């Protein structure tokens, strides 16, 4: 009987109990083995360089460095593993950002039991795997023309460099006064740039500004998540 070559897997998640559960699930498969674990993105990159896994499973939000930051470094490794983002975030903006950053798959944590093993096998074979929950998003984009990222990129071409800079800082939550201090212009000038990009892009609220920045890659989902947490902290 020929020996099975197992898929070598790395698990990166800041919750030890979840890592243990995933390890048990993966190690119970005849064609898979966990070769390394990491509690954050920094350690995940180190383990990839040490252990050379075939597939790296990354949580999107972790301390020090999250899944997206780690993703950008891991896809440049030699050899680079296939990367699966495992997350609780169901907003399509996170999903689009992950795939644009080089992820081979995106799985929701609530679907782990049903989908993770299939996802590992699929990406190891060179395919992409997307959580079934995002099927409608892909169909809409396939038959509806441009993606939001493409639309955002096209729209950003009408902005000046300074307008893009102000847009990014507004999306990150800085006030006009804080932006003025950062880029050494007056508050009135900041407001003028803001009015210009809002008018050019047809953005009606700060929520739309944030979504636009996410689609374009000006603002990472992790930074947006931390920003929301800080605003909700008493």
Interval 155-196: pLDDT, tens: 445 678 888 888 888 887 788 999 999 999 999 999 998 888
Query: Other CB atoms closer than 10 Å to residue 182's CB: what's the count?
Result: 13
Q: Are residues 60 and 132 in the same domain?
A: yes
* Whole-number pLDDT of residue 89: 78
Looking up residue 109, the CATH number of its domain turns out to be 3.40.50.2300
Q: Give the residue with greater pLDDT, 191 vs 95.
A: 191
62 and 169 housed in the same domain:
no
The number of domains in the chain is: 2
Q: Which of 140, 159, 192 is the last residue of a domain?
A: 140
**Are both 157 and 192 inside the same structural domain?**
yes
Residue 131 and residue 205 in one domain: no
Q: How confident is the model at residue 64 (pLDDT cuts 50, 70, 90)?
A: confident
Cis peptide before 79 (omega within 30 of 0): yes
pTM as predicted: 0.62
149: number of Cβ within 10 Å: 18
Q: What is the pLDDT of residues 115-167, one digit of tens each?
A: 899 999 999 999 989 888 776 665 555 445 444 444 444 444 567 888 888 88
CATH number at residue 195: 1.10.10.10
Residues spanned by the domain of 189: 148-228
**Looking at the structure, do residues 127 and 14 belong to the same domain, yes or no?**
yes
Distance separating alpha carbons of residues 168 and 166, to the nearest angstrom: 5
Query: Would 190 be classed as within a structural domain?
Result: yes
């Amino acid at each position: 009987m020929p020996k099975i070559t197992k898929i070598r897997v790395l698990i990166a998640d800041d919750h030890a109990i979840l890592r243990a559960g995933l390890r048990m699930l993966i190690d119970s498969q005849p064609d898979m083995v966990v070769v390394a674990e990491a509690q954050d993105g920094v350690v995940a990159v180190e383990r990839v360089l040490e252990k050379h896994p075939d597939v790296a499973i990354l949580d999107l939000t972790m301390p020090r460095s999250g899944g997206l930051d780690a993703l950008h470094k891991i896809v440049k490794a030699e050899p680079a593993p296939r990367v699966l983002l495992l997350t609780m975030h169901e907003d399509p903006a996170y999903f689009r950002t992950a795939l644009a950053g080089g992820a081979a798959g995106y799985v929701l944590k609530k679907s782990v039991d049903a989908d993770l093993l299939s996802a590992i096998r699929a990406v190891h074979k060179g395919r992409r795997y997307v959580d079934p929950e995002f099927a409608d998003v892909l169909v809409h984009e396939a038959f509806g023309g441009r993606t939001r990222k493409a639309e955002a990129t096209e729209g950003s071409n009408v902005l000046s460099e300074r307008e893009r800079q102000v847009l990014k800082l507004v999306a990150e939550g800085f006030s006009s006064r804080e932006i003025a201090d950062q880029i050494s212009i007056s508050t009135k000038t900041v407001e003028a740039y803001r009015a210009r990009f809002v008018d050019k892009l047809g953005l009606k609220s700060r929520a739309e500004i944030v979504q636009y920045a996410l689609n374009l890659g000006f603002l990472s989902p992790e930074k947006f998540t931390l920003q929301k947490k800080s605003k909700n902290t008493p």
